[in-house]
Amino acid sequence: MRFPASIMTVLALALPVYGQSAAEPVVVELYTSQGCSSCPPADALLHELAARPDVLPLALHVDYWDYIGWKDKFAKPAHTRRQKGYARSGGRRMIYTPQMIIMGQDDVVGADAVEVAEAIEKHQKQPRPLALKLQRQGGNLVIRLQPRAGMPDGRLLVQLVRFTPERTVSITRGELAGKTFTYANVVEDWKVAAEWDGTEPLELTVPLTGSQPAAVLVQEAPYGPVIAAARAD
């Protein structure tokens, strides 16, 4: 079954800001686990966000709850490392699920639809210091980066993310035993395509095969603010 549709609050409170381009979505990273009994409401919220062109929601399943009886089929150690990296950058001593990180900056309880909506709306109103354009060419993706006013100093990471829009799992052990869930925007691969100083325009071409959706995020290294993001059409 799909998660219950009980998150209409977020749609009411965080409608797209007029003039916000769908090519400049707000990035929402959800750190979740199939072994976490408090995660389904956050997973359901991510489903709602996945229907919006002004938001890029990504589910990063972590592996540190696997010991309680169910091994998350989508979990990757790299996702746990990324979540820990955000914690270090934000001066936090702990990590938890469900957690949402919005634009690499805001730490929000993933099931709190109101707080998530407010964070999304805040970032919609902020100008982006970088124009990011993507174009598929055969089995490649061309990434074009054009600095704008307000570009941050320092090292930037151009990251290519591949994800699956929906994956369904029947859970047979652990806290959620006996339930079947369909998860949205499950991250399958996350790699750095290039490092960049942001001082001059950049164009690069990376391999992009298959029909799996992709997105590009430009982020202050290593776990700082996300300054631009776009989906690959």
pLDDT digits (tens, 9 = 90+) for 17-29: 444 445 599 999 9
Q: How far is CA 127 from CA 6, 81, 115, 198, in A?
A: 31, 29, 21, 16
Which range in 5-9, 15-19, 161-165 is most confidently predicted, on average pLDDT?
A: 161-165
Tell me the DSSP string of 43-110: HHHHHHHHT-TTEEEEEEE-STTGGGS---TT--HHHHHHHHHHHHHTT-S---SSEEEETTTEEEET
Give every CB contact of residue 21 below 8 A, 6+ residues apart in sequence: none
Residues 210-229: tens digit of each pLDDT: 999 999 999 999 999 999 99
Confidence of residue 165 (pLDDT cuts 50, 70, 90): very high
Across the range 4-30, mean pLDDT stands at: 59
Identify the CA nearest to 170 among candidates 180, 183, 158: 180
Computed over every residue of the chain, the mean pLDDT equals 92
Q: What pLDDT does 118 receive?
A: 98
Residue with tokens 């919005």: 102
Across the range 121-142, mean pLDDT stands at: 96
Confidence of residue 13 (pLDDT cuts 50, 70, 90): very low
Does residue 7 register a pLDDT over 80? Answer: no
Q: What pLDDT does 181 receive?
A: 98
Does residue 201 register a pLDDT over 80? Answer: yes
Q: What pLDDT does 4 receive?
A: 46
Give the tokens for residue 179: 């339930």
Helix (H) or strand (E) run with residue 119 in it: helix 113-124
Q: What pLDDT does 23 receive?
A: 55
Contact 57, 185 (CB under 8 A): yes
Confidence of residue 6 (pLDDT cuts 50, 70, 90): very low
